[in-house]
């Protein structure tokens, strides 16, 4: 990346990483056998929400290919906008891998018909993920019905959690048949009302253990061809987790819960940074190195647990990164991947 020390981003923050705590040199201290990301970006994946400012998915894919990026994780709305067939053709033409597919979930509903619609939609999401040969389908599980539209129709968080448990249980069979692992993404507690009533890695893993106690092996999914997970063979659990540093960095139990997850349940690793101050709880995520998350330390933990897949950059940023040209965003992602992840 250009030597822009001293320049400032549009959000008024330093355009260079906060030093030391997130540097690769420090990363080496946490574990000796972490993969070295400093020389290339083989294990960088771009969650296509990061380039929401760049237009349609075909344009985003072409930008990623221009920058030698090997993997993406697309969102369903972006796929639907250009069509599943066209997306599949693009992915194959460029030999891209999918570190995940975003997203399924949103299980809770006020009535049985609403819950059935959610299950139908999740089955479609699994089929789309299968067609794209994604490493997993990410689940943002949902919470109080109506809350995401700003009009919660219930205050019963326990009912929402029951819907989530039952919804995942009902979806799991289809996921197994499609050999598509489901990755529960625990979301930061600030989203407990509207986006996800699963808010810690521990809570997500409790669900995994309750619904998929066999955790992988021959009773998991057929993982052959799941190179995006960085592993050969079929030892992925049918149900696991997506660890997004933005959601879990604050958790005092994080290291222990990552170890508990183990390689079978660690299905995805999402990176960005927590800005101080954060101006918008949804759409002010920071570029790696611009905030306070010790990303390399967390990567050390998940790699010590056996994860060897992609580091997926997922940045929602209406005021800053979505305003910038896609080539600048990607060049910065690559530079920070090599120095701050
Ligand atoms: Zn994420």
CA dist 25 and 30 (Å) reads 10
Instruction: Give the structural domain span for 169.
Output: 24-340
Spacing, Cα 244 to ligand 1 middle (Å): 5
- The answer to whether 126 and 161 are in contact (CB under 8 A) is no
For 24-72, how does the pLDDT look when each residue is reduced to its tens digit (9 = 90+)? 434 444 456 899 999 999 999 999 999 999 999 999 999 999 999 999 9
Spacing, Cα 142 to ligand 1 middle (Å): 14
User: Is the predicted pLDDT of residue 259 greater than 80, yes or no?
Assistant: yes
Whether 260 maps to a domain, the answer reads yes
Spacing, Cα 102 to ligand 1 middle (Å): 9
Amino acid 234: pLDDT: 54
Spacing, Cα 48 to ligand 1 middle (Å): 11
Alpha carbon 313 to chain centroid distance? 8
Spacing, Cα 100 to ligand 1 middle (Å): 10
Find the mean pLDDT for residues 290-310: 98
Spacing, Cα 88 to ligand 1 middle (Å): 22
Amino acid 236: pLDDT: 87
Of 6-20, 160-174, 181-195, minimum mean pLDDT range: 6-20
Residue 317 neighbours by CB distance under 10 Å:
25
Spacing, Cα 33 to ligand 1 middle (Å): 25
User: Is the predicted pLDDT of residue 91 greater than 90, yes or no?
Assistant: yes
Whether 331 maps to a domain, the answer reads yes
Of 65-69, 189-193, 232-236, 242-246, minimum mean pLDDT range: 232-236
Whether 5 maps to a domain, the answer reads no
Spacing, Cα 177 to ligand 1 middle (Å): 25
Whether 8 maps to a domain, the answer reads no
Of 83-97, 207-221, 232-246, 266-280, minimum mean pLDDT range: 207-221
Domain count, the chain: 1
The two tokens of residue 47 are: 């969650």
Spacing, Cα 218 to ligand 1 middle (Å): 28
- Band of the pLDDT at 216, cuts 50, 70, 90? low
Spacing, Cα 136 to ligand 1 middle (Å): 13
Spacing, Cα 6 to ligand 1 middle (Å): 30
Whether 193 maps to a domain, the answer reads yes
Whether 276 maps to a domain, the answer reads yes
User: Is the predicted pLDDT of residue 221 greater than 70, yes or no?
Assistant: no
Whether 143 maps to a domain, the answer reads yes
Of 20-24, 288-292, 337-341, minimum mean pLDDT range: 20-24
Tell me, what CATH number does 298's domain have?
A: 3.20.20.150
Spacing, Cα 185 to ligand 1 middle (Å): 7
Spacing, Cα 270 to ligand 1 middle (Å): 5
Spacing, Cα 97 to ligand 1 middle (Å): 17
- Band of the pLDDT at 84, cuts 50, 70, 90? very high
Q: Pick the residue with more confidence: 14 or 38?
A: 38
The two tokens of residue 107 are: 């299980």
Whether 19 maps to a domain, the answer reads no
Spacing, Cα 167 to ligand 1 middle (Å): 20
Spacing, Cα 95 to ligand 1 middle (Å): 23
Least Cα distance to 37 among 326, 321, 327, 308 occurs for 308
Non-local CB neighbours of 89 within 8 Å, separated by 6+ positions: none
Spacing, Cα 32 to ligand 1 middle (Å): 27
């Amino acid at each position: 990346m250009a030597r822009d020390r001293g320049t400032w981003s549009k959000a008024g923050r330093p355009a260079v990483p906060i030093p030391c705590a997130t540097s690769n040199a420090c990363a080496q201290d946490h574990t000796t056998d972490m993969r070295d990301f400093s020389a290339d970006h083989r294990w960088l994946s771009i969650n296509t929400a990061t380039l929401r400012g760049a237009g349609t998915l075909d344009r985003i894919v072409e930008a990623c290919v221009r920058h030698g990026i090997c993997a993406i994780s697309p969102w369903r709305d972006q796929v639907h906008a250009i069509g599943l067939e066209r997306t599949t053709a693009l992915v194959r033409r460029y030999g891209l891998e999918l570190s995940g597919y975003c997203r399924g979930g949103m299980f809770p509903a006020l009535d049985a018909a609403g819950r059935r619609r959610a299950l139908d939609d999740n089955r479609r999401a699994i089929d789309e993920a299968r067609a794209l040969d994604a490493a997993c389908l990410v689940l943002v599980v949902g919470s109080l019905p109506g809350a995401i539209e700003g009009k919660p129709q219930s205050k019963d968080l326990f009912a929402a959690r029951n819907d989530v448990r039952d919804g995942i249980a009902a979806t799991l069979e289809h996921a197994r048949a499609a050999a598509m692992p489901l990755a529960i993404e625990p979301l930061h507690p600030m989203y407990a009302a509207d986006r996800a009533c699963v808010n810690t890695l521990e809570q997500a893993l409790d669900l995994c253990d309750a619904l998929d106690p066999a955790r992988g092996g021959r009773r998991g999914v057929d993982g052959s061809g799941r190179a995006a997970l960085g592993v050969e063979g079929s030892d992925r659990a049918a149900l696991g987790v997506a660890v997004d540093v933005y959601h879990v960095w604050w958790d005092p139990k994080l290291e222990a819960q990552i170890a508990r997850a183990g390689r079978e349940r660690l299905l995805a690793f999402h990176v960005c940074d927590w800005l101080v101050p954060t101006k918008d709880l949804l759409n002010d995520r920071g570029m790696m190195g611009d905030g306070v998350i010790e990303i390399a330390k967390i990567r050390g933990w998940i790699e010590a647990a056996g994860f060897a897949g992609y580091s997926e950059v997922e940045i929602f940023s209406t005021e800053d990164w979505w305003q910038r040209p896609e080539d600048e965003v990607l060049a910065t992602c690559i530079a920070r991947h090599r120095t701050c992840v």
